[in-house]
A and B are shown apart, each in its own frame.
Chain A
Amino acid sequence: MAKQQEESNSNPAAAAAGDWENFRDDDIMLQHSAIRAEQADKIPFLGDKEPLSALAAEYQSGSSILLEKIKILDEKYSAIRRTRGDGNCFFRSFMFSYLEHILETQDKAEVDRVKANVEECRKTLQSLGYADFTFEDFFGLFLEQLENVIQGTDASISHDELVERSRDQSISDYVVMFFRFITSGEIRKRAEFFEPFILGLNNATVDQFCKSSVEPMGEESDHVHIIALSDALGVPVRVVYLDRSSCDTGGVSVNHHDFVPSALSSGGSGLEINPYITLLYRPGHYDILYPK
């Protein structure tokens, strides 16, 4: 039995010889991971904080609308922190922004509040029929990070360590997966609410959508994901759009959209929400923005 399994090792020699008959899925997956590793060398999961001028430099020879918009951004935002474009950028940006916010504010009430929401999400997944052992490790690791950014304990971590952890695949990927579970649970729990959005997006059922576009790593996030995650954790998110759209009236403005958790907005107090996660969206990618 064990002997036969050894054969499942892939066959690079066959691949090199262009022998497609023996070129197997393992080889293709090996190639995929090699490409990913090459990308990884170029940009870490989470970049350093850069001034907005770094963003402008990127478009120096590009669209004037974009340069105009970056100028406007410059009035409100001081810096950008890039994330790797591997399909998990929204979740990684969310992870770092949120934990950095807690680290800087030491807002223990917020930690308690979000922990209660995480426990709700755990119950949601259980009631949806997920086996505990499939998600508990991911929950555990996120809760651990949440506790560690609170100072004054032996396990407390500094800002530098938080950056380091966010770049460590074994932590970063687990937290991304935690968010994916939370997002999927919320979408499934409120299937009736999300169904029309999902149908319009890619003509799939809620179950198919969660299985193919939420739970697998590397699947990009759309509005549906952001709404679900923001609602489930009760964390408002602002997304600033940097694209080539412009108003007919002539003036260039930068659009943003606030994702306000239903729990906060249904209060109807008309309260101005001050989101502590601000993301810059360029078609297909999210980075972190720092307001002035």
Chain B
Amino acid sequence: MSSLLLFSDESSHCFERLLPPSTMAGCDSCPRVQIMEVDLLVRCVKVVSNYYRYLFPVVPPCGSSSRLASRARLFKEYKEVQREKTADPDITLVCDDTNIFKWTALIKGPSETPYEGGVFQLAFAVPEQYPLQPPQVRFLTKIFHPNVHFKTGEICLDILKNAWSPAWTLQSVCRAIIALMAHPEADSPLNCDSGNLLRSGDLRGFQSMAKMYTRLAAMPKKG
């Protein structure tokens, strides 16, 4: 279901080019199924061609543009993630079907923290200069944490900024974020309310707020 949604923009664009609106308007007799089939075909062709582009990135002999270099690196990470799928049960890292520069991760809230039992979704936007530049990562799931912006989900973590190096991977970034969830840095807060609770020593207040938002946003709704 979600994979179909991901295609919607590009494929509908192609679809319109194949069958201009005028054609569609005047084709009352044309069974809807056929249109669906064309649409599906467009999608399939796109999937296959994209897949081959991942498999065989064209790497020029030298001075390869950064986009190709980053694509090649991301594909290696993709293969590694597939291979090590069960290695880290707390992290599920998924690449967008049509764009290797977009990833999503589901991470489990670490135990013995107010995030325990929650599953948090992260969005990765990987720049073309990757891995020389860090991916942009943010929480899509609402979380109450001193180092995560409450509205935008932006994360304050040194390795995502100036301490980034290509030795990190998307997978190890997820691990670092889980570690940050367990060890908040209240002195450099993006979420001041959360930071202030911790800094004033109101651990109980912080934990109940964080736990409440974990229940509200990061756990399946009951009923």
Contact = CB atoms under 8 A, between A and B. Distances in A.
B166 A135 contact: yes
B138 interface: yes
B123 A134 contact: no
Interface string A208-225: 000110011110000000
Contact of B102 (A2, A148, A168): A2
A50 interface: no
Given A2-B96, A5-B102, A170-B64, A212 B123 contact: no
Nearest to A26: B136
B6 A133 contact: no
Contacts of B6: 1-2
Contact of A170 (B2, B66, B167): B66
Contacts of B161: 25, 29
Given A25-B161, A171-B63, A8 B167 contact: no
B154 interface: yes
B191 to A, nearest CB: 13
A29 B137 CA distance: 14
B147 to A, nearest CB: 12
Contacts of B158: 212
Contacts of A240: none
Count chain B CB atoms within 10 A of each CB in A1, A3, A165, A173 and give the residue with the most: A1
B61 interface: yes
B152 A24 contact: yes
A134 B169 contact: yes
A5 B132 CA distance: 21
A133 B65 contact: no
A136 to B, nearest CB: 8
B63 A173 contact: no
A2 B163 CA distance: 27
A6 B77 CA distance: 22
Nearest to A154: B61
B5 A1 contact: yes
B43 to A, nearest CB: 14
A218 B131 CA distance: 14
A133 B3 CA distance: 28
Interface stretch (B18-26, B68-76, B195-203): B68-76
Contacts of A218: 162
A130 interface: yes
Contact of A144 (B62, B73, B169): B62
A177 B166 CA distance: 8
Contact of B99 (A2, A138, A155): A2
Nearest to B7: A2
Interface string B100-135: 001010000000000000000001010000011000
Provide the main secondary structure of the chain A interface. Answer: helix
Given A5-B125, A133-B77, A173-B132, A215 B140 contact: no
Contacts of A130: 167
Contacts of A169: 66
B132 A177 contact: yes
Range, interface on chain A = 35 or more
A138 B63 contact: no
Contact of A4 (B65, B77, B123): B123
Contact of A138 (B156, B166, B168): B166
Contacts of A92: none
Nearest to A217: B132
B80 interface: yes
B2 A1 contact: yes
A181 interface: yes
B165 interface: yes
B162 A216 contact: yes
B164 interface: yes
Given A174-B69, A217-B132, 13 more contacts: A2-B9, A5-B123, A8-B123, A25-B161, A29-B161, A134-B131, A134-B166, A135-B167, A137-B69, A137-B72, A144-B62, A155-B61, A170-B65
List of 7 A-B pairs having minimum Cβ-Cβ separation, nearest first? A215-B165, A133-B76, A216-B165, A5-B123, A2-B6, A8-B125, A134-B167
Interface of B: 2, 5-6, 9, 61-66, 69, 72-73, 76-77, 80, 96, 99, 102, 104, 123, 125, 131-132, 136, 138, 140, 149, 152, 154, 156, 158, 161-169
30 contacts: A1-B2, A1-B5, A1-B96, A1-B123, A2-B6, A2-B96, A2-B99, A4-B140, A24-B152, A24-B154, A25-B154, A25-B161, A26-B136, A131-B80, A133-B73, A133-B76, A134-B131, A134-B166, A134-B167, A135-B166, A138-B166, A144-B62, A155-B61, A155-B62, A165-B63, A170-B63, A170-B65, A171-B62, A177-B165, A216-B162
